[in-house]
Amino acid sequence: MQSNISLKIDIREQDSYENNDTYQNAYELTPGQTLTGIGIEARNDEDWFKITVDHTCSLIGSISNNSGLLRYNVYNSNLTQLSSVYYGVTTTGKHVITLTPGTYYIKLYEYTPNRGINYMQSNISFTLDIEDEDFDFFATLGNQYNGLSCNDPVNPVNGNFTYENTDVSIPTISEALEFNRFYNSRSVYSGPLGKGWQHNYNSFLIFNGDDSIQVLYPDGHSTLFSYNDSIYTAQDGCFETLDDNGDGTYTLLFKDQIKYIYNADGKMTQIVDRNNNTTNLQYDANSLLTCVIEPTGRSLQFTYDQDNRISQITDPAQGTVQLTYDGSGNLASVQGSNGGSTIYSYGTCGLETITDPEGNTVVDNTYDTLSRVVEQRDGEGNTTSFTYDVDNQQTTMQDAMGYAVTFEYNDDYMITGMLYPESVSENRVYDSDNNITAATDKNSNTTTYTYDSMGNVLTKTDPSPLGYTTATTYDSLNNPVKITDAAGYATDFTYDNKGNLLTMSREVSEETATISYTYNAYGQVASITDANGNVGIMTYDQYGNLESISDPMGNTTSYTYDILGRKLTITTSRGNESGADPEDYTYTYSYDVAGNLLSVTDPLGNETSYTYNLNNNLTNITDPRLNTVLTTYNDNDNIASITDALGNDIIYTYDANGNLASITDRNSNVTQYEYDFLERLLETTYPDGSSETLILDGNGNILTLTDRKGNTSEYEYDVLNRLTLVTDAMGNETS
Residues sharing a CB contact under 8 Å with residue 578, sequence separation 6 or more, in sequence order: none
DSSP, residue by residue, 342-388: EEEEEETTEEEEEE-TTS-EEEEEEE-TTS-EEEEEETT--EEEEEE
Q: How confident is the model at residue 139 (pLDDT cuts 50, 70, 90)?
A: very low
Query: What confidence tens digit (pLDDT) does each residue in 269-327 have?
Result: 999 999 999 999 999 998 999 999 999 999 999 999 999 999 999 999 999 999 999 99
Return all residues near 364 (Cβ < 8 A) that are at least 6 apart: 352, 353, 376, 377, 378
Does 687 sit behind a cis peptide bond, omega within 30 degrees of 0 on the bond before it? Answer: no
**Long-range contacts made by residues 289-292, C-beta under 8 angstroms, separation at least 24?**
289/192, 289/201, 289/202, 292/177, 292/201
- Asked whether the beta carbons of 707 and 693 are under 8 A apart, the reply is no
DSSP code of residue 25: G
Q: What is the pLDDT of residues 65-82, one digit of tens each?
A: 544 566 778 888 778 777
Sign of the CA dihedral running 563, 178, 334, 615: positive
Distance CA 518, CA 125 (A): 61
Identify the pLDDT of residue 250: 97
Cα three-residue angle 188-194-196, rounded to 5 degrees = 35
Please report which confidence band the pLDDT of residue 258 belongs to, taking 50, 70 and 90 as the band edges.
very high
- Spatial contact of 232 and 223, defined as CB atoms under 8 Å apart: no
Query: DSSP states of 81-113 as a string?
Result: EEEEEEE-TT--EEEEEEE-SEEEEEEEEE--S
Distance CA 47, CA 395 (A): 31
Q: What band does 146 get if pLDDT is binned at 50, 70 and 90?
A: very low
Q: Which sequence spans correspond to the domains of the chain?
A: 2-132, 162-402, 425-632, 639-734
19 vs 204, more confident: 204
pLDDT, tens digit (0-9, with 9 covering 90-100), for 377-424: 999 899 999 999 988 999 999 999 999 999 999 988 899 999 999 899
Distance, in Å, from the CA atom of 648 to the CA atom of 472, rounded to the nearest integer, reads 56
| CA-to-CA dists, residue 359 to 340, 354, 393, 642, angstroms | 10, 10, 38, 21
Instruction: Return the bridge partners of 448, or none.
Output: 438, 461
pTM above threshold 0.85: no
In whole angstroms, give the CA distance from residue 69 to residue 91. Answer: 9
Tell how strand 331-335 and strand 320-325 pair up.
antiparallel
pLDDT digits (tens, 9 = 90+) for 697-709: 888 899 999 999 9
CATH 2.60.120.380 correct for 2-132: yes
Q: Which of 131-135, 361-365, 465-469, 640-644 has the lowest mean pLDDT?
A: 131-135
- The per-residue pLDDT for 388 is 95
Residues recorded for the chain: 735
Whose CA is closest to 614, among 433, 374, 356, 344? 356
Q: What is the largest CA-CA distance in the chain?
A: 105
Distance CA 657, CA 384 (A): 9
